[in-house]
């Protein structure tokens, strides 16, 4: 796999943006004139030092020694050419020697500084090349006209082209024909505005591989100015797996919607069509009992009552199934209307079938909270009725509490009934599950399942803390500001 084309180096930046050849020649000329005009060589030496300093803007570093050699030659020649010297020979020699020393000291300083800088530049470039080459995302660098200047290994894997095949080519070769006009329009807008913000920074596009196949990718865009030249960096991320997951999700959502629709239809049939024959059975049993009044023995009358009881239980089961199927999908004003906790519990107690010898104690903390009436009201009614229905005594006590947990409330309903063995704690929240025979306790086995679904629908949790003979405490969390789907 070919390495990506290197980015323009800092050395190249310096060559383009700093000292030009003309400026160097001017300084060289000034140094020569000063050298010839000053017999002692002091002014010329200073000028030659500046000439040597020009080596900082030339590459490679040894050019500095070339400049120093030129300056040395001129200094020596000036000493030999100048004949009219008023100062002593020793003074001239010393000044010329000091000038030469200054020239070579500066030359060595510039040289070692350039070498140090070059090593630092090489290290930075090596790290940059390593980052670009090792990136899992594709990185393409283009100029403002769309010409590809860098193509990292990840791009080679994505598109199937080698770096040599795309360098110098227009970036539009990497997108299918229908999208090339769009890419050209982006570049045109950028060239007119010279502002990368006119191009969508993050955008989903389609890539074209060497074999002609296509794939979706997400493109991020950045702008860099290097030595007066503008470069655009394109970061390419293959989103094939994400798109596939999105398509699968859409299919799943469509299937789920269809399943919900079928569930609605079933619930409608269950609540209407199936109830009709049940009512006929109930009425027929009553008519039969009236027609045979005085002719039916006690056992037959009990069977008639049992028949009607089973009809009533079936109707209750159908009602609960309908309610279970509509949880989270059908709401009314009560789901959005806020009410105080005290008002909520007042309505709950009116709906509860409380025996005379039962005591229900509500925590005074309810007067300090506010929440939506539904479906919390229904949850409390079901939990309290469940505690009463499954109690093993004629008297009982139920305590209803609330705790503030920041963004949510923790509600509890505790009774002093027979309790629930730990092995049944998970079972009781499933549909059609009862711990006692239905002949002893009337119920559809849907009450706690309905509560559980309500709580789960709002992303909360419900649990039970109980043991045989120690009562039961149901706890569930609820958001202070519930959101309807």
**Element at 415 (helix H, strand E):** strand 408-415
Residue 119 vs residue 431, higher pLDDT: 119
**Category of 419 on φ-ψ map: left (φ > 0), alpha (ψ -120 to 50) or beta:** left
Q: Token pair of 163, please?
A: 């770096």
Q: Token pair of 330, please?
A: 């059908």
Beta-strand pair 214-226/338-340: unpaired
Could you give the percent of the chain with pLDDT greater than 70? Answer: 71
Whether 420 shows a pLDDT value over 50: the answer reads: yes
pLDDT tens digit sequence for 182-200: 777 777 777 776 766 666 6
Residue 462's DSSP bridge partners are 476
Alpha-helical regions (H) of 141-208: 153-159, 163-166, 177-193
Mean pLDDT of 89-109: 75
The secondary structure of residue 56, as a DSSP letter, is G
pTM confidence score: 0.47
For 196-205, 233-242, 463-472, which range has the lowest pLDDT when averaged over its residues? 196-205
In this prediction, residue 439 carries a pLDDT of: 46
Contacts 24+ apart (CB under 8 A), 8-14: 8/226, 8/227, 8/229, 9/121, 9/125, 10/121, 10/124, 11/59, 11/118, 11/121, 12/227, 13/226, 13/227, 14/57, 14/59
Q: In the structure, what pLDDT confidence band is assigned to residue 150 with cuts at 50, 70 and 90? A: confident
Mean pLDDT, the chain, rounded, equals 77
In this prediction, residue 365 carries a pLDDT of: 93
Q: What are phi and psi of 84, to 5 degrees?
A: -90, 95
Give which of 121, 126, 72 is closest to 99, Cα–Cα.
72
Q: In the structure, what pLDDT confidence band is assigned to residue 39 with cuts at 50, 70 and 90? A: low
One-character DSSP codes across 340-371: EHHHHHHHHHHHS---TTEEEEE-GGGGG-EE
The CA-CA-CA angle for residues 181, 183, 188, to 5°, reads: 90
List Cα–Cα distances, 96 to 64, 73, 78, 79, 102, in angstroms: 20, 11, 10, 8, 10
Residue 223's DSSP bridge partners are 232
Distance CA 309, CA 282 (A): 9
Distance from chain centroid for Cα 464: 35
Sign of the CA dihedral running 82, 88, 89, 90: negative
Distance CA 239, CA 206 (A): 10
What lies within 8 Å, CB to CB, of 401 at 6+ separation is 363, 365, 411, 412, 414
In this prediction, residue 475 carries a pLDDT of: 94
One-character DSSP codes across 48-74: HHHHHHGGGGSSSTTHHHHHHHHHHHH
What lies within 8 Å, CB to CB, of 57 at 6+ separation is 14, 15, 18, 19, 24
List Cα–Cα distances, 90 to 40, 77, 87, 197, in angstroms: 10, 17, 8, 69
Residue 472's DSSP bridge partners are 415, 466
Highest mean pLDDT among 134-148, 167-181, 281-295, 419-433: 167-181
Q: Token pair of 27, please?
A: 């300084």
Q: Token pair of 42, please?
A: 């002091």
pLDDT tens digit sequence for 4-27: 443 444 344 344 434 455 565 665
């Amino acid at each position: 796999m070919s390495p990506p084309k290197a980015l323009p180096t800092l050395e190249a930046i310096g060559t383009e943006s700093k000292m030009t050849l003309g400026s160097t020649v001017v300084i060289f000329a000034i140094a020569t004139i000063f050298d010839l005009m000053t017999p002692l060589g002091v002014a010329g030496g200073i000028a030659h030092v500046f000439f040597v300093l020009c080596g900082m803007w030339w590459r490679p570093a040894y050019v500095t020694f070339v400049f120093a050699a030129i300056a040395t030659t001129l200094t020596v020649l000036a000493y030999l050419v100048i004949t009219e010297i008023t100062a002593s020979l020793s003074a001239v020699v010393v000044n010329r020697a000091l000038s030469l020393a200054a020239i070579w000291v500066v030359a060595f300083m510039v040289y070692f500084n350039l070498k140090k800088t070059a090593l630092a530049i090489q290290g930075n470039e090596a790290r940059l090349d390593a980052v670009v080459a090792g990136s899992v995302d594709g990185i393409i660098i283009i100029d403002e006209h769309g010409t590809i200047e860098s193509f990292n290994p990840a791009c080679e894997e994505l598109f199937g082209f080698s770096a040599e095949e795309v360098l110098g080519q227009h970036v539009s070769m990497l997108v299918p024909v229908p999208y090339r006009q769009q890419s050209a329009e982006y570049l045109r807008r950028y060239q007119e505005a010279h502002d990368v913000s006119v191009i969508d920074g993050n955008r989903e596009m389609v890539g074209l591989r060497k074999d002609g196949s296509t794939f979706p990718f997400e493109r991020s865009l950045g702008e860099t100015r290097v030595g007066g030249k503008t470069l655009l960096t394109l970061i390419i991320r293959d989103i094939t797996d994400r798109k596939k997951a999105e398509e699968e999700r859409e299919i799943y959502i469509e299937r789920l919607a269809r399943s919900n629709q079928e569930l609605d239809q079933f619930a409608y049939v269950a609540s209407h069509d199936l109830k009709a024959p049940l009512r006929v059975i109930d009425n027929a049993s009553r008519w039969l009992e009236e027609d045979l009044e005085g002719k039916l023995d006690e056992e037959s009358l009990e069977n008639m009552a049992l028949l009607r009881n089973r009809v009533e239980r079936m109707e209750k089961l159908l009602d609960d199934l309908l309610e279970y199927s509509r949880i989270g999908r059908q709401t009314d004003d009560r789901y959005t209307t806020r009410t105080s906790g005290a008002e909520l519990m007042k309505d709950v107690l009116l709906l509860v079938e409380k025996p005379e010898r039962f005591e229900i104690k509500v925590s005074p903390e309810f007067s300090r909270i506010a929440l939506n009436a539904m479906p919390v009201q229904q949850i409390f009614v079901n939990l309290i009725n469940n505690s009463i229905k499954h109690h093993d005594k004629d008297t009982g006590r139920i305590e209803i509490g609330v705790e503030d947990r920041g963004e949510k409330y923790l509600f509890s309903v505790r009774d002093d009934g027979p309790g629930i063995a730990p092995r049944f704690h998970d079972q009781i929240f499933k549909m059609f599950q009862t711990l006692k025979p239905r002949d002893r306790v009337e119920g559809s086995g849907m009450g706690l399942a309905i509560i559980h679904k309500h709580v789960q629908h709002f992303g909360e949790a419900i649990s039970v803390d109980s043991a045989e003979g120690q009562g039961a405490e149901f706890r569930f969390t609820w958001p202070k500001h519930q959101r309807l789907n």
